[in-house]
Amino acid sequence: MKPRTIFSLEEVAILLRLPDCETSIGLRDNTLLSLMYASGARAQEVCDLTVRDAQFQKDITKLTITGKGNRIRRINIAKPCGNLLKQYLSRRGISNNLDRHIFSSQTHEHMTISCVEMIFKKYVKLAKEQHPALFLERYSPHSMRHTSASHMLEAGIPIMAIKNFLGHASVLTTSRYAELSQDTVNKHIKEWNQRWFPLVEPLDDSAHSGNDMPEFLK
């Protein structure tokens, strides 16, 4: 199995700042990337979303997502993302066209996975160019789903809640992210060690004998 790649919180923030929301394409891309992170949805699930699937209430935005095997789940997304989605639909002029797909390409009303991949690749490439010390791994759109799951675990959200949120059929699938989260912790510890202890010289083992080991460790 290929190792899962995830974004740090800093990297997510960088990605979401890149699209120019003053343009229609930039606003679309910003909304798409934000929604992928806020919902943890698969690329195909995002492509299939219609205006009908977004319900805007006073302080809550709910999404109805159709996943693998036509399993339907209903989730709440963060308020900033909900506000962004509402703004995007309004600017497109499709807020009341319930059967329209939320995300469209320049050639297709129903966006395809390949289009999501191109958008994703575009901004990851730009982010790497601007921040060469970050974004060191290879990413795919699914990396955002892994990122959402890992960040939720690190925030202390129960694994069963994450399972339902992501639409996993089995908690065993979700439990793999627990290992991923630990990998993230290890990565941060490694970076911390390299940053703060780069000049520490190793001890000369030849100057010590095995008899120096404390009794309680023998």
List, in order of start, the domains of the chain with CATH numbers.
Answer: 9-194 (1.10.443.10)
Instruction: Going residue by residue through the chain, which has 218 residues, state the pLDDT in tens, using 9 for 90 and above.
Output: 455 688 989 999 999 999 999 999 999 999 999 999 999 999 999 999 999 999 998 889 999 999 888 889 999 998 999 999 999 999 999 999 999 999 999 888 999 999 999 999 999 999 999 999 898 777 888 889 888 888 888 888 888 888 888 888 778 777 777 666 666 666 656 666 666 665 555 555 554 555 554 454 44
- Per the CB < 8 A criterion, the answer to whether 90 and 111 are in contact is no
Task: Say how far apart CA 38 and CA 161 lie, in whole Å.
Answer: 15
Question: Model's pTM, two decimal places?
Answer: 0.79
